[in-house]
């Protein structure tokens, strides 16, 4: 059930009425929210529900065992935590990485003339398995660290992991942000209607218009066979993909945040004009912010962060980014993407601590260069990220390096789509909030009029069918 579909529109219309009608009966409302979330997940494949239940059970039981309640003795806390994380990662590894590692082992074995009796497991990758794992691990680790009390309610834990707005592609919501919101009935007036309506409408526009057309009209054909495409088109397709993936992924999380808010639940921000970043470090403070902070809090800092000297900092940055790359999928292209960002962060870290940066780093030319270099680096990363295989990425780079003499076939519509992507980065970050307040102040008819006109424009411009969100596969 994709967000920009009639299926989800009907589901949301039903859920909105049901959830608010039960608002004063909080326990019943939570059961209903859980049932809705399970139905949402089961719309892909009901067998995936077993995964949700397993993940919820692990989190609940481990959470109870590793909690730091005052006066309570909890022997083996660390071992139980390690077991919980291992189980969560084991599920992820089985579904997502086992075939990849079997393939690598077989390749290596064949190179040495061996033929081990290894067979591929060939299981269907469950939707959202990575996001499930992130939520589950963050809960048990936060409980272990004493940042939050272990929940006594299996319902709350299962609802935290499976809540349908964030279930499939985030944003990654921390348990300490979400669980307290389940404790009492919600107040509709705590969430601006127009602001969240704009978030959803903006998300629909980014996905249905910008991302869909860029993908279908230009990016997908170029990446299908880069050897037949002109050098100009190859370069432009990388920039187009940068806009496409931003429009696609930020659209999903914008809609998720807006839908959750209309139901009365607050999610964290996930994007902040990432292509305005001045440096790779800044990019990761603006791109998929909830993943960046997750990797920082549950991987980089536990590894030692920057507390043990320059060499260990380099190691920790590289490990974090390589694993972050691998999280996206079992493919060498993601590994290279993560490694590239790891190296960039290491260089960025050294630059930020240099005397040169202290003296010239805040000057306009240095900041302009910072922005330009960061954008190019991010786009080179996207080339690997988008390529279906390392071979295609190599062909792509070779095509940029050596002109094949082909004429450009880039459709003219790409220019306004790129301009729309750029526009999302040059408008003031608080413009949605301001427009929302302006609409709220004008009353119900303005809200309805604006919302209806915006929906009309989006449907007029939308293609007949929407491609799945890019991050569904992760």
Partner 1 sequence: MPPLARRLFAIYAILAITVFAFPGGLTSWLDDRNRTGWLDAPLAAMRAVDAASAAIGVKAVGERLRTQFRSAIGDDED
Residue ranges in contact with partner 1 by CB under 8 A: 6-7, 9, 13, 16-17, 20, 23, 188-189, 193, 197, 213, 216-217, 262, 411, 413, 444, 447-448, 451-452, 455-456, 459-461, 463-464
CB of 139 closer than 8 Å to CB of 173: no
Q: Using the minimum distance from each CB to partner 1, give the nearer residue, 107 or 445.
A: 445
**Cα(298)–Cα(319) distance, integer angstroms:** 12
Q: Position of tokens 């005052």? A: 70
In sequence order, which residues have a C-beta less than 8 Å from that of residue 334 and are 6 or more positions away?
325, 326, 327, 328, 384, 385
User: What sign does the dihedral 325-326-328-332 (CA atoms) show?
Assistant: positive
Closest approach, Cβ 191 to partner 1, in A, equals 9
**Radius of gyration for the chain, computed over Cα atoms and rounded to the nearest angstrom:** 23
Closest approach, Cβ 105 to partner 1, in A, equals 45
CA contacts within 13 A on the Cβ side of 162: 30
Question: Of these residues, 135, 166, 288, 328, which one is catalytic?
Answer: 328
Q: Using the minimum distance from each CB to partner 1, give the nearer residue, 205 or 385.
A: 205
Closest approach, Cβ 460 to partner 1, in A, equals 5
**Cα(136)–Cα(370) distance, integer angstroms:** 37
Q: Using the minimum distance from each CB to partner 1, give the nearer residue, 180 or 411.
A: 411
End-to-end CA separation in angstroms for the chain: 16
328 is catalytic: yes
CB of 399 closer than 8 Å to CB of 231: yes
Looking at residue 329, the DSSP 8-state letter turns out to be -
Q: Using the minimum distance from each CB to partner 1, give the nearer residue, 347 or 448.
A: 448
How far does CA 293 lie from the centroid of its chain? 12
Closest approach, Cβ 23 to partner 1, in A, equals 8
Closest approach, Cβ 127 to partner 1, in A, equals 22
Q: Using the minimum distance from each CB to partner 1, give the nearer residue, 19 or 137.
A: 19
Give catalytic residues, as residue numbers.
Answer: 328
């Amino acid at each position: 059930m994709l967000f920009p579909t009639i299926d989800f529109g009907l589901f949301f219309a039903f859920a909105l009425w049901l959830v608010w009608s039960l608002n004063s009966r909080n326990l019943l409302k939570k059961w209903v929210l859980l049932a809705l979330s399970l139905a949402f997940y089961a719309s892909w494949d009901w067998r995936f529900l077993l995964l949700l239940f397993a993940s919820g059970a692990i989190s609940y039981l481990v959470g109870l065992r590793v909690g730091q309640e005052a006066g309570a003795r909890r022997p083996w806390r660390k071992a139980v935590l390690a077991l919980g994380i291992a189980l969560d990662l084991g599920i992820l590894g089985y579904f997502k990485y086992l075939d990849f590692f079997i393939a690598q082992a077989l390749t290596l074995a064949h190179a040495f003339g061996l033929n081990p009796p290894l067979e591929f497991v060939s299981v269907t990758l469950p939707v959202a398995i990575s996001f499930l794992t992130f939520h589950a691990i963050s809960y048990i680790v936060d409980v272990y660290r004493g940042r939050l009390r272990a929940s006594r309610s299996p319902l709350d834990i299962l609802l935290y992991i499976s809540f349908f707005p964030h279930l499939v592609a985030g944003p990654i919501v921390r348990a300490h942000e979400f669980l307290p919101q389940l404790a009492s009935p919600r107040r509709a007036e705590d969430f601006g209607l127009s602001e969240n309506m704009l978030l959803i409408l903006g998300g629909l526009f980014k996905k249905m218009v910008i991302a869909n057309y860029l993908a279908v009209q230009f990016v997908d054909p170029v990446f299908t066979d880069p050897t037949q495409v002109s050098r100009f088109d190859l370069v432009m397709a990388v920039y187009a993909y940068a806009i496409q993936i931003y429009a696609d992924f930020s659209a999903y999380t914008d809609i998720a945040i807006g839908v959750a808010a209309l139901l009365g639940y607050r999610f964290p921000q996930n994007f902040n004009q990432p292509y305005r970043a001045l440096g790779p470090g800044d990019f990761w403070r603006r791109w998929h912010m909830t993943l960046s902070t997750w990797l920082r809090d549950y991987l980089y800092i536990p590894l030692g962060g920057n507390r043990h000297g320059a060499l260990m900092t380099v190691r920790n940055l590289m490990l974090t980014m390589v694993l972050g790359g691998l999280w996206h999928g079992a493919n060498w292209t993601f590994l290279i993407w993560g490694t590239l960002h790891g190296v960039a962060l290491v260089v960025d870290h050294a630059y930020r601590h240099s005397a040169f940066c202290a003296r010239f780093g805040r000057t306009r030319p240095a900041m302009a260069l910072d922005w330009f270099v960061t954008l190019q680096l991010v786009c080179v990363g996207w080339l690997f990220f988008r390529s279906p295989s390392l071979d295609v990425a190599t062909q792509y780079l070779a095509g940029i390096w050596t002109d094949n003499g082909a004429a450009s076939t880039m459709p003219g519509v790409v220019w306004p789509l790129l301009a729309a992507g750029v526009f999302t980065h040059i408008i003031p970050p608080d413009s949605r909030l301001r427009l929302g307040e302006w609409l709220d102040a004008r009353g119900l008819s303005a809200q309805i009029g604006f919302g209806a006109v915006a929906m009309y424009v989006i449907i007029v411009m939308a293609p007949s069918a929407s491609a799945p969100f890019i991050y569904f596969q992760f």
